[in-house]
């Protein structure tokens, strides 16, 4: 089978591609009916090359339990699980009630749009998502075989500790793109087009240190905000030029939060440019603790990633269902 031909990739300075659209958009890069965005970079050739990361067969789950955090932020519902006994038969069923973004999640392209122009990926608007519409549904990710390829871990939390940087993941603080570049240099990772980026901020490690009462108060803590990647032209340029297929982390918002904070230009946030502009899935609340240990033990920071979101027709988001394989 002949290799899949990808379109010429524009430079960051050539954005926006749709000159009538909002800043930074890459609308039209993958064609007029595209539902996958940067996941198009996960060609059969890219996935086959990523399989070379499987050497000893060690596997690491990257999802939190569905009931963690116990008290989700952003007014999202808590996870509920009911076991339904089918007596007199010796048999049980399950019933689940959940917000797909209360725990480990992939944000799909219906999740966040350009706030000023009120547009989602490829110019879609809220009325396009009426009941029964499948436009930009996250089920397209699963239908295409999931988010499967080479994962790259940048362990900012460990790097920051070694360099005397101590920032709370529960308040508004920035992971600088210069930090990520330094980690890439230190580890010797060669980022390739189609890689799936994971940034360990320390959110999960620090959350597990909280008391039960502190976990319950997590959504209402004052001051609020979240540690995450800074939303600047430099960080957006770095993400674009590295041609990631998807970006994720253990942080609750991936980028510094709130994304609409005064430290951000109204038109410059990672959620707007990544999800609505480029079709770049964002993952949040991934459990990277065992992954960090596995990478440190092996002295390598790349692995094979298999993540298949739920096939929710017209879905906004999904649990990660992710495993790293070494």
Write the pLDDT tens digit of every residue in 113-135: 999 999 999 999 999 999 999 99
Q: Is the pLDDT of residue 293 over 80?
A: yes
Helices (H), the chain: 44-50, 139-143, 156-162, 177-187, 203-207, 212-217, 233-241, 270, 289-298
Q: Is the pLDDT of residue 258 over 90?
A: no
Span 70-85, average pLDDT: 95
CB-based contacts of 263: which residues, under 8 Å, 6+ apart? 172, 174, 256
Residue 3 has a pLDDT of 65
Span 176-184, average pLDDT: 98
Q: Which residue has the tokens 């949040």?
A: 284
E strands present in the chain = 59-61, 80-85, 92-97, 105-107, 147-154, 173-175, 196-199, 227-229, 246-249, 282-284, 302-307, 317-318, 322-325
Question: Predicted confidence band at 1 (pLDDT cuts at 50, 70, 90)?
Answer: low
| pTM for the structure as a whole | 0.96
Span 193-207, average pLDDT: 98
Query: Among residues 232, 237, 311, which one has the least CA distance to residue 269?
Result: 232
Residue 320 has a pLDDT of 98
Span 192-197, average pLDDT: 98
Span 221-248, average pLDDT: 95
As a whole number of angstroms, the distance between CA 284 and CA 198 comes to 9
Averaged confidence pLDDT in the chain: 96
Residue 26 has a pLDDT of 98
Span 215-236, average pLDDT: 93
Question: Predicted confidence band at 261 (pLDDT cuts at 50, 70, 90)?
Answer: confident
Span 253-258, average pLDDT: 92
User: Encoding tokens for residue 96?
Assistant: 């689940």
Query: Among residues 175, 321, 313, 183, which one has the least CA distance to residue 166?
Result: 175
- Helices (H) and strands (E) counted in the chain, each on its own, are 9, 13
Q: Is the pLDDT of residue 142 over 70?
A: yes
Residue 119, SS3 per DSSP: strand
Q: Is the pLDDT of residue 147 over 80?
A: yes
Question: Predicted confidence band at 200 (pLDDT cuts at 50, 70, 90)?
Answer: very high
Specify which residues 81 forms β-bridges with.
Answer: 96
Q: Is the pLDDT of residue 97 over 70?
A: yes
Residue 241 has a pLDDT of 98
Residue 274 has a pLDDT of 98
Residue 6 has a pLDDT of 83
Span 224-236, average pLDDT: 95
Q: At what angle do helices 177-187 and 233-241 cross, to 10 degrees?
A: 40
Q: How many CB atoms sit inside 10 A of residue 320's CB? A: 25
Q: Is the pLDDT of residue 2 over 80?
A: no
């Amino acid at each position: 089978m002949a290799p899949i031909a990808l379109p010429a990739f524009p430079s960051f300075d050539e954005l926006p591609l749709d000159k009538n659209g909002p800043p930074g958009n890459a609308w039209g890069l993958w064609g007029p009916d595209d539902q996958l965005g940067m996941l198009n970079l996960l060609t059969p050739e890219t996935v086959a090359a990523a399989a070379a990361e499987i050497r000893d067969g060690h596997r690491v789950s990257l999802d939190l339990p569905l009931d963690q955090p116990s008290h989700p932020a952003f007014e999202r519902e808590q996870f509920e699980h009911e076991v339904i006994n089918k007596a007199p038969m010796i048999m049980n069923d399950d019933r689940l009630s959940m917000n797909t973004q209360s725990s480990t999640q992939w944000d799909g392209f219906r999740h966040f749009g350009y706030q000023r122009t009120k547009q989602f990926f490829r110019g879609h608007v809220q009325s396009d998502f009426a009941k029964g519409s499948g436009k930009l549904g996250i089920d397209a990710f699963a239908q295409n075989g999931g988010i499967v390829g080479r994962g790259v871990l940048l362990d900012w939390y460990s790097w920051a500790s070694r360099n005397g940087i101590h920032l709370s993941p529960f308040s508004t603080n920035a992971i600088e793109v210069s930090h990520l570049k330094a980690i890439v240099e230190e580890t010797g990772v060669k980022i390739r087009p189609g890689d799936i980026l994971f940034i360990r901020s320390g959110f999960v490690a620090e959350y597990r240190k909280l008391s039960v009462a502190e976990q319950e108060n997590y959504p209402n803590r004052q001051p609020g905000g979240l540690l995450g990647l800074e939303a600047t032209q430099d960080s957006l340029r770095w993400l674009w030029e590295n041609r990631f297929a998807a970006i994720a982390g253990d942080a609750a918002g991936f980028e510094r939060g709130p994304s609409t904070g005064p430290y951000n230009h109204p038109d410059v946030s990672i959620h707007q440019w990544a999800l609505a502009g480029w079709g770049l899935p964002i993952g949040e609340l991934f459990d990277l603790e065992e992954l960090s240990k596995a990478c440190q033990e092996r002295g390598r920071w790349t692995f094979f990633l298999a993540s298949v979101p739920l096939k929710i027709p017209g879905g906004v988001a999904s649990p990660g269902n992710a495993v790293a394989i070494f």
